[in-house]
C-alpha cells in the first residue's frame, strides 16, 4: 500500500509539473491528491460501516470530513516537506523496476476507479435509504 501511495504521489507530482507548469511547489498539489485518495478511502470505509450498523445516523459524521481532510493534508505536507522527503519518494520511484511500475500503474488505476465508483454507490445507497424512510 505504501508503494501504491508513493506511486500516486509521484504521478501527481509530475502531472502538476507537466500540465500546470508549476516548478516551485508541485509537492503541494501531489500532497493534495494523496490526501484526497487517503481521506476518500477512510470515509468510504467509515460511512459503509456506519450505514450497515446504524443507518439512521449516517450523516452525523459528514460535517467532520472537511476538518479531517484539512488536518490530513497538513500532516501529509509536514511529512513530505520535512527534510525534503518528497525528493526521496521521487528517487525511490525512479529506481523501481519497469515491471513493478506497470503493476503499480494497473493497481493505481483499479484503486482510483474503485474509490470513484464506491463513493457514488455509497451516496446512492444513503439517498435511497433516506427516501424510503421518510
Residue with cell string 509521484: 10
How crowded is residue 53: how many other Cβ atoms within 10 Å of its Cβ? 9
Residue with cell string 433516506: 130
pLDDT band at 58; cut points 50, 70, 90: low
First to last CA, the chain: 41
The pTM of this model reads 0.89
What pLDDT, on the 0 to 100 scale, is given for residue 3? Answer: 95
C-alpha cell at 88: 526521496
Give Cα 67 distance to the centre of its chain: 15
Amino acid at each position: 500500500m505504501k508503494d501504491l501511495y508513493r506511486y500516486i504521489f509521484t504521478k501527481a507530482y509530475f502531472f502538476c509539473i507537466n500540465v500546470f507548469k508549476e516548478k516551485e511547489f508541485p509537492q503541494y498539489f501531489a500532497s493534495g491528491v494523496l490526501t484526497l485518495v487517503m481521506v476518500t478511502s477512510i470515509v468510504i470505509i467509515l460511512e459503509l460501516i456506519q450505514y450497515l450498523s446504524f443507518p439512521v445516523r449516517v450523516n452525523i459524521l459528514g460535517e467532520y470530513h472537511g476538518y479531517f481532510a484539512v488536518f490530513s493534508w497538513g500532516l501529509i505536507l509536514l511529512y513530505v516537506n520535512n527534510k525534503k522527503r518528497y525528493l526521496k519518494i521521487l528517487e525511490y520511484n525512479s529506481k523501481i523496476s519497469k515491471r513493478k511500475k506497470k503493476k503499480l500503474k494497473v493497481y493505481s488505476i483499479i484503486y482510483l476507479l474503485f474509490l470513484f465508483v464506491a463513493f457514488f454507490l455509497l451516496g446512492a445507497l444513503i439517498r435511497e435509504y433516506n427516501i424510503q424512510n421518510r
